[in-house]
Structure 1
Amino acid sequence: PFRFSALTRSCVVIPCTFQYEEDIPLTRGIWSKKTGGIVFHNGQSNVIDHFKGRTKILGDLNEGNCSLEIDDIKPFDNGPFCFHAEKGHDKYRFNNSCVFIVMKSPEKPVMTPVPAEVDAGSTITVSCSVAHTCPSHPPVFSWSVPDLSSEISHTLTSPGIWETKSTITFMVAAGDGVRSLTCTAIFWRDKQQAGTVKLNVK
């Protein structure tokens, strides 16, 4: 089975595609635990209590997209989780349709290098990026300096992993010496990680 990383309390998207060649639309897609218990079903009453209200299929089944989002990940939501589709009473199972989830700590933001020395009053542009698994609620960034301008970008870097990047331009405050510039990534449901670079102001 495939393995995907997740941050507890945040959300995770499990990418899932399948080949379905027939003309008659599928009735439903179902995700379940390999050990038993339905994790996602069109009818919420079929879902086990532990997952009720926390799962949804993001794609269109009839286009072969069965990607699953699990929100508010719990430490023991490891799986394995398996997908199958139904059309009436017929069940369709697919190869490689089971996945594990591995829990991890929040990623540390990566900051772009800054010049060795900067002049007070000059403007600098710096970026801070972080990997995550929750594209519906990407991390937000907090900076230790007021910015003149800022922009955010989101990129899918590999299956199930996205990168969110914050780029700001700011003015270096007056006064000599070494200062810290800190970028804090705040993940969905409030876990945080910070990255810091030193500014040598002259």
Structure 2
Amino acid sequence: IVKKKIIILIHSSFSAILVGLSGSCVLIPCRFSYPENGKTYTEFKGIWFKGNEESTVYHTDASNIIDSFKGRTSLNGDLGKNDCSLKISSLSSSDAGSFIFRTEIKDLANIMEKMMEKTLDILSTICVSSPETPENPNVSVEEEVTSGKPVTATCAVSHSCPSDLPKVTWSHDGKQSSPSQPQNHGQWKLTSYSLTFTPSREDHNKHLSCTAEFKGKTVTDYKTLKVKCKSAIIYYCFSRLLKHYNQAFEL
């Protein structure tokens, strides 16, 4: 008796346009299900195609992958746990297009033979576009800070690749914390960086900037600091203000 092998094309977890930054990576989320009928299956073969079934971008047997994707794709999930998510590294604009997943499950043929014989349905495709310029970060800090009192600012950075975080720098000295765990933000991941610093009167009306560097591409955001004096030094601040006023008046 020859056992047939059933080929099933599976839904990705959503059908949408994913955006990955050129030079970075993108993660295509994907989950699948199949009728287990009380049995456990342990042998899975995962295959990802680009555009059609002639261009294999990921295969359990790496020799089947087309040259332009060799060494750049990997399964981010475990097929045995129904996770078929694909990671594509070193993105370029030529990677844009539709991607389709297919799995082959050993011994499932006996159960599915009558139901799926000669059936091949493409349920979902995903397009990946690759912009050349990353999104600007977003700096948050209190609208008004107090001289001599520590304050914490945050810088939220959007990216498509949690394993390849950008390099983030601040324009002000202070204690920087480790980046937060990436949070889902639509199709992008959102990572927050924080800076705790003590403003001084010299910081008034100066920019607090956060710069994110992605593979040589740099983007920046800033907020203008508004620094007020603590009550203990109000007199000093007022004296300086009065001095500047008198100088201006003399002119």
TM-score when scaled to structure 1? 0.87
Match 1:3 to one of 4, 17, 22: 17
Cα 1:97–1:176 change in 2 (3 A) is closer
Percent of aligned pairs sharing the same letter: 34
The answer to which structure has the higher strand fraction is: 1
CA–CA distance in 1 between the matches of 2:121 and 2:158? 29
CA–CA distance in 2 between the matches of 1:93 and 1:119? 66
Equivalent residues of 1:179, 1:201 under 8 A apart: no
Aligned ranges 1:55-70 → 2 under 5 Å: 55-70=73-88
* Residue 34 of structure 2 corresponds to residue 20 of structure 1: yes
Moved more, 21-30 or 7-16: 21-30
Moved more, 37-46 or 173-182: 173-182
Structure 2: gaps spanning 5 or more residues: 1-14, 110-115, 229-251
Aligned AA for 2:42? Answer: P
Structure 1: gaps spanning 5 or more residues: none
Q: Which residue of 1 aligns with 2:196?
A: 169
Aligned ranges 1:130-145 → 2 under 5 Å: 130-145=157-172
CA–CA distance in 1 between the matches of 2:179 and 2:25? 20
Aligned AA for 1:96? Answer: L
Provide, for residues 137-161 of structure 1, a one-character-per-residue CA deviation record: whole Å limited to 9, x for no partner: 1223111112134242123324642
Aligned AA for 1:157? Answer: N
Match 1:29 to one of 13, 24, 46: 46
The answer to which structure has the higher helix fraction is: 2
Q: Following TM superposition, by how much is the alpha carbon of 1:111 offset from its aligned partner in structure 2, in angstroms?
A: 1.2
Aligned AA for 2:41? Answer: I
- Higher Rg: 2
CA–CA distance in 2 between the matches of 1:180 and 1:81? 43
CA–CA distance in 2 between the matches of 1:156 and 1:96? 28
Aligned AA for 1:125? Answer: T
* Residue 125 of structure 2 corresponds to residue 98 of structure 1: yes
Q: How many residues align?
A: 200
CA–CA distance in 2 between the matches of 1:161 and 1:148? 27
CA–CA distance in 2 between the matches of 1:54 and 1:198? 42
The secondary structure found in structure 2 opposite 1:80 is: strand
Provide, for residues 46-77 of structure 1, a one-character-per-residue CA deviation record: whole Å limited to 9, x for no partner: 11110010000011111110000000101121
* Residue 225 of structure 2 corresponds to residue 191 of structure 1: no
Equivalent residues of 2:206, 2:224 under 8 A apart: yes
Equivalent residues of 2:135, 2:219 under 8 A apart: yes
CA–CA distance in 1 between the matches of 2:61 and 2:186? 28
Cα 1:94–1:163 change in 2 (3 A) is farther
CA RMSD of aligned residues (A): 2.4
Equivalent residues of 1:57, 1:67 under 8 A apart: yes
Cα 1:127–1:101 change in 2 (3 A) is same
Equivalent residues of 2:139, 2:209 under 8 A apart: no
CA–CA distance in 2 between the matches of 1:127 and 1:41? 41
